Amino acid sequence: MKEIIVASTNEGKIKEIEAMLNEIGIEVKSLKDVFHEDIEIEENGKTFQENALIKAQTICDRIHKPVLADDSGLEVDALNGAPGIYSARFMGHDTSYDVKNQYIIDAVKGKERGARFVCAMALCIPDREPILIEEYFNGEIYDHIAGENGFGYDPIFYVPELHKTSAELSMEEKNQYSHRAKALKKLYDILKNEGNA
């Protein structure tokens, strides 16, 4: 497999996936590289894995090429797992992450700070069973916004063993610890064992 289409237009996400898969000679393309119009896919699954599969299968059925989709988000213990699968839509699509992040910081004050990033990946290859993977990045909600790297909830996700937020991690560190990196490593191992890498 020399090329994988990533069912996303999120540039931060594409960069992370590219950094991992380019190392093993797989070219990564985004939806923008394949389609000239915006593709709207209704993510109506009840889990990260269901949503990843909906995205990958929908695009794979249209273009008959290997398609990788991920659905990822933040689960906060004190918020009963919210924002969860609604991470991107939390507080409304047009609400900035600065506002979302500050809301979560305020919401966990004086409460349990445990949190995790979840990444579910689905790789759909024409005429084959989909490959499904789920990985986690455990940490806690920080008491303020910190860091310029990353995107989304990275600036409030504190990683105790590294003494940094996810937005303060270098790309090398992120590629070692993050939920998406762990899922991609698992995917890489599967492809390598099949002789496709």
- Binding site as annotated, residues for substrate: 8-13, 72, 151-154, 174, 179-180
> CATH number for the domain including 164?
3.90.950.10
Number of domains, the chain: 1
Q: Name the residues annotated as catalytic.
A: 71
Q: Give strand pairing partners of 172.
A: none
Across 42-159, the runs of DSSP E, i.e. the strands, are 67-76, 114-124, 131-141, 157-159
Note if the pTM is more than 0.75: yes
- Binding site as annotated, residues: 8-13, 42, 71-72, 151-154, 174, 179-180
pLDDT, mean of each 10-residue run, the chain (197 residues): 86 81 84 81 91 96 94 96 94 94 97 97 95 97 93 95 95 87 88 64
Give the C-alpha separation, 20 to 41, whole Å. Answer: 25
| pLDDT number for residue 197 | 42
Q: Is the CA virtual torsion 83, 18, 61, 129 positive or negative? A: negative
- Binding site as annotated, residues for Mg(2+): 42, 71
The range of the structural domain enclosing residue 139 comes to 3-193
| pLDDT number for residue 125 | 94
Amino acid at 49: Q
Place of tokens 């090429």: 65
| pLDDT number for residue 195 | 60
Count other C-beta atoms under 10 Å from residue 100's C-beta.
20
